[in-house]
Structure 1
């Protein structure tokens, strides 16, 4: 039986804990939320009746926290942490057993634990809301930058098309006239090669700026993907890389533009080949679902560095050496997928490499 003085002492400990937890949450920095949760676990440890033997476990999607163990087995009070009414973890406070049983916990301690879990759930909700707002803000800024850049690049592409066509045409005519001059022919071949490369960059700019005409129709995309892979057989063999295609249906019908879909597959597979080591495999998996088509391309290369993960779809961004990439391939892919009302994401492959996941809705 507790005396009035003992009961008062326990209430003071509980109220102090709740005050400290509330203060920690009110003044929390969302960038240091792990430190806040550790401090909350420590507050709970000293709030219990037998604080010197109290053990606390705090589990959330962000972090798992365990205070110093005081025994080998425990009897626990437990309360769930709910985020938007969904269980996203729990807090357990225990005493060593068999020294203690559930009867040794106070009713007020369960109430305190429930209140702390409620406060932690509110904290995680606010962090999730803030993270979502930050993601939306970045997406809006990115879309705005891409829109402006699209307008600029469309103008640049149109301005460059005519002079590049002239350079290529006159260089080819001149090459026919100087066939006997080996040095001149060699120099003209360089001009022609670089002009063709520049023309391809302009074509990618026009794809990015959505200036290329498209003709969408309902097509079986399996042979289109197979044709794109076949175009790269020589490059695959040269790099000692294999490419496997897996499809869950004989026909996968999708309303799309054949040239644009080929561009998507071509760019992603070329990138995968570039970063894949010899004797590795690039896997393409096509899954036909009721209202969408999923396309997954995975490689066993070096993967995308974490500090560059948010930039891979940016125009002119590339991790390739100077002269080996225009930085437009993935931004063109991103633009084409968006124009089809789809989505594209990337994630690390295991044990190494990258996985690109494309989701395209079946729009009639």
Structure 2
């Protein structure tokens, strides 16, 4: 390329490409990023000296976009895509290897490719920042919602405690004075339902952290073993394989024994309920620097993506009517938060759910 006119033509193509790429990135829809990346690849294809034979590959951890004629054996220029200084992909622009060599590329074309790769890396950085902001906002909204629900349920629980105690007390007195068996049977049903309602109120108070905590250092391993022994009949009924792992023989945690037992009981009971016949449940307790991490894994159907944000909300349940109050996981969340811990969930592989609890070490 010798003439001034030809050189000027190539510079115009390069500047046009940069302008178009910048416009694409400014107007990019982060939820449809592949469309923007495809447009960037097309811009690069037009910007090269022999554009009719130019092919482009853009690859990232989540994307792989090529022009129609791209082949892996082409003679190519390459530039890495870096996101927060970490290589996460690259862009290649190439010619057919039998017809062209590296000397056929212009020095300015490598500069152009580097600039486009930098711009694409910035696009991925902005997407990550947007996604993090969205996640933080979602978590804050959920925390606010749970806080409001906690205040409401605490008030309801306090209001219900007194009438329920009265119902049970007067029912006991009335039962002692009756002789009719049918009437006594009906009265016992009233008492059973009142006791059931009282347990719901207790769970509400757990959720609202209204039950006083008796915090002390306790050994975690025997507590977990006791819960598993209580649930052994349910485990045997479904022929579930139980895998238990403790990183240390003596793991100490500062907690309320009753509330921590409730946490393990609810999570393992849920794992049993959703596990298939002959499935496996894993309970893993790991002591790490600064934290005690608990993982409870099952091989059930897993949590539907549309329910991921709801499972810790009170009264939400996927169990059939009459099989769950929807308070189990909300109680667990309340207790864990009250112990300054965190609880998260993620899919198990190949199927199922993993609940992870992190408690601070005493």
- Scaled to the shorter chain, the TM-score interval is over 0.9
- Does residue 1:46 correspond to 2:49, yes or no? no
Q: Deviations over 1:309-339 (max 9, x none)?
A: 1211122211112222111111111122222
Q: Distance in 1 between matches of 2:98 and 2:174?
A: 96
Q: Distance in 2 between matches of 1:239 and 1:221?
A: 26
Q: Distance in 2 between matches of 1:242 and 1:197?
A: 31
Q: Distance in 1 between matches of 2:232 and 2:173?
A: 32
- Contact 1:53–1:70 (CA under 8 A) maintained in structure 2: no
Give the C-alpha shift of residue 178 in structure 1. Answer: 4.5
Q: How does 1:318-357 map to 2 (within 5 A)?
A: 318-357=317-356
Partner of 1:33: 33
Partner of 1:224: 223
Gaps of 5+ in 1: none
Q: Distance in 1 between matches of 2:36 and 2:326?
A: 41
Give the C-alpha shift of residue 72 in structure 1. Answer: 5.4
Q: Deviations over 1:34-76 (max 9, x none)?
A: 2111111121122112223222221223322222134451222
Q: Deviations over 1:14-38 (max 9, x none)?
A: 1111111111111122222221111
Aligned partner of residue 148 in structure 1, secondary structure: helix
Partner of 2:289: 290
Distance 1:180 1:279, change over 3 A: farther
Distance 1:98 1:360, change over 3 A: farther
- Contact 1:72–1:96 (CA under 8 A) maintained in structure 2: no
Give the C-alpha shift of residue 352 in structure 1. Answer: 1.2
- Contact 1:34–1:62 (CA under 8 A) maintained in structure 2: no
Q: Distance in 2 between matches of 1:142 and 1:156?
A: 21
Aligned partner of residue 310 in structure 1, secondary structure: coil
Give the TM-score normalised by structure 2: 0.94
- Contact 1:13–1:47 (CA under 8 A) maintained in structure 2: yes
Give the C-alpha shift of residue 245 in structure 1. Answer: 1.5
Give the C-alpha shift of residue 346 in structure 1. Answer: 0.9
Aligned partner of residue 285 in structure 2, secondary structure: strand
Q: Distance in 2 between matches of 1:64 and 1:343?
A: 36
Q: Distance in 2 between matches of 1:271 and 1:146?
A: 21
Q: How does 1:165-176 map to 2 (within 5 A)?
A: 165-176=165-176
Aligned partner of residue 294 in structure 1, secondary structure: strand
Q: Distance in 1 between matches of 2:180 and 2:240?
A: 41
* Divergent runs of 4+, >6 A: none
Partner of 1:67: 67
Give the C-alpha shift of residue 173 in structure 1. Answer: 4.4
Give the C-alpha shift of residue 159 in structure 1. Answer: 1.0
Q: How does 1:135-214 map to 2 (within 5 A)?
A: 135-178=135-178, 181=181, 183-214=182-213
- Contact 2:57–2:70 (CA under 8 A) maintained in structure 1: no
Q: Distance in 1 between matches of 2:216 and 2:72?
A: 67
Q: Distance in 2 between matches of 1:72 and 1:58?
A: 12
What is the aligned length? 362
Distance 1:46 1:215, change over 3 A: same
Partner of 1:133: 133
Q: Distance in 1 between matches of 2:241 and 2:119?
A: 53
- Contact 2:56–2:70 (CA under 8 A) maintained in structure 1: no
Partner of 1:258: 257
Q: Deviations over 1:158-185 (max 9, x none)?
A: 111122222233334444555651x434
Partner of 2:97: 97
Partner of 2:56: 56
Gaps of 5+ in 2: none
